[in-house]
Amino acid sequence: MKMKILLVVAALKTKMKMILSPVVALKMKMKIILSTMIVFKEKMKMKMILSVAVVLKTKMNMVLSVALALKMKMKIILPAATVLKTKMMILSTATHGR
């Protein structure tokens, strides 16, 4: 379990460069979200979200999308690309969801 978390964190650290191009980041992010979901199902690890927040500090919208994706599972992942374009929606939704 710890190994998976480390792998996800490492992947997210590498993702910092990907953030510059959100489209590429979203495509590559699918695998990471799946791994993260597994970790969350086994143990509700808030540390994972904190790590994501630190890594994606510049893109808070991305962090909120990830958080929502973990709570609402796969359904939010598909609209995530569209939601990123309209950042207002994801922000208000994330605030309410929490």
Residues 70-90: tens digit of each pLDDT: 554 444 344 444 444 445 444
Candidates 19, 39, 35; CA nearest to 27 is 19
Q: Does residue 61 contact residue 51 with C-beta atoms inside 8 Å?
A: no
Q: How far apart are CA 10 and CA 86, in angstroms?
A: 28
Q: What angle do CA 84, 25, 40 make, to 5 degrees?
A: 85
3-state class (DSSP) for residue 19:
helix
Q: How far apart are CA 5 and CA 49, in angstroms?
A: 11
Q: Where are the domains of the chain?
A: 2-97
53 by Cβ neighbours in 10 Å (0-12 / 13-18 / 19+) ranks as: middle
What are the pLDDT digits (tens) for 11-64?
555 554 444 444 444 555 555 555 555 455 555 544 445 445 444 454 444 545
